[in-house]
Amino acid sequence: MTALGADALLREVVRFYVRGQRTHAKCGDETSTVRCHVLTELLRAEGMPQQALVERLGLDKGWISRAVDMLVKESCISKLPSEQDRRSVVLFLTPEGRARARELEQELNNHAAQLLEHVPQDRHVQVQESLQLLLNALSAATSSRAQCSTLAVRLATSQDWPAIKRMLLAEELPLDGAQEHLAHFVVGEAAGKVVCAGGLEVYGADALLRSIVVDAESRGKQWAEQILARLTEQALHLNVSTLYLLTTTAESYFSRLGFLVVSRDRIPEQLIQSREFQGACPASAIAMKMRIFRSPS
């Protein structure tokens, strides 16, 4: 038999190992295999949006969706509203799901231990060192791919308006007044595509924070926070000292960032006359404000 090169040998090891894990943990068919992946991944990092789970597992979105729905029906996963965006959900293991995931993890660990029993004891250290090298290489490759989708935040231009408009419409956020204030908008680009945006309406020392939006495919990466940070820097540069906003779904999210609920009769008249306050946002929207300061040099 011809000796395999390192690359082909690694693929053979992975092929046999994954096959053995599926059989050992009773994850034989496509559906149950994906459910196994979902359970073990949520055991490592609960509270993630479903899209983030898709990206972490690198599996088809439809497979993940079906697996999650089945696990919800089996009372293993609960879907809860995101504190950052009430229109999206995050996934948590139920007590039953956590017990099932831990049992699955133990089965998989037992399978790995059984394999190592076939390796001579005096070679275990060598195997462990080799596995650590492979793990380091995989981590480096993953980090490299992540860097390819790093967000680049910049000032918006007129050419960005179609993308901003598309995202606002998709999230049912108001368009009124947005394009008129495009000069004070910023956008975030990843892989050459505008994936998030936000803007300011500046009225002297006060500014209305508006149109914070992230493309549905790009949630779970904390990119909204990067947009907010850039807009805050921009506001300080424009000598703004207080930011105001209106929200119908994200009061708790903005509260964690330092915004406080404020009654509308305490809002400067210039902001009250803005398109958002004059009807673009519903009367039920909550008004919030936050003082901003330059960091000491």
CATH code for the domain in which residue 191 is found: 3.40.630.30
Residue closest to 270 by CA, chosen among 249, 247, 297, 244:
244
Rounded percentage of the chain residues whose pLDDT exceeds 90: 33
Distance (Å, rounded) from C-alpha 94 to C-alpha 179? 44
Distance (Å, rounded) from C-alpha 198 to C-alpha 196? 7
Question: Cβ contacts of residue 124 below 8 Å, gap of 6+?
Answer: 116
Indicate yes or no: pTM above 0.85. Answer: no
Are 284 and 257 in the same domain? yes
User: What is the domain count for the chain?
Assistant: 2
Show which of 114, 145, 176 is a domain's final residue. 145
The answer to the question of residue 127 being in a domain is yes
Are 138 and 169 in the same domain? no
Residue closest to 244 by CA, chosen among 275, 283, 202, 282:
202
Show which of 105, 120, 145 is a domain's final residue. 145
Are 129 and 175 in the same domain? no
The answer to the question of residue 157 being in a domain is yes
Each residue's pLDDT tens digit, 117-156: 999 999 989 988 888 888 888 777 665 555 545 788 999 9
The answer to the question of residue 116 being in a domain is yes
What is the CATH classification number for the domain harbouring 57?
A: 1.10.10.10
Strand duo 48-49 + 89-93: pairing: antiparallel
Question: Cβ contacts of residue 2 below 8 Å, gap of 6+?
Answer: none
pLDDT category of residue 50 using cuts at 50, 70 and 90: confident
Task: Work out the angle between the directed axes of helices 50-57 and 30-44 (0-180°, nearest 10).
Answer: 110
The answer to the question of residue 297 being in a domain is no
Contact indicator for 285, 235 with CB cutoff of 8 Å: no
pLDDT at site 235: 93
Each residue's pLDDT tens digit, 60-108: 777 788 889 999 999 999 988 766 555 677 888 898 998 998 998 888 8
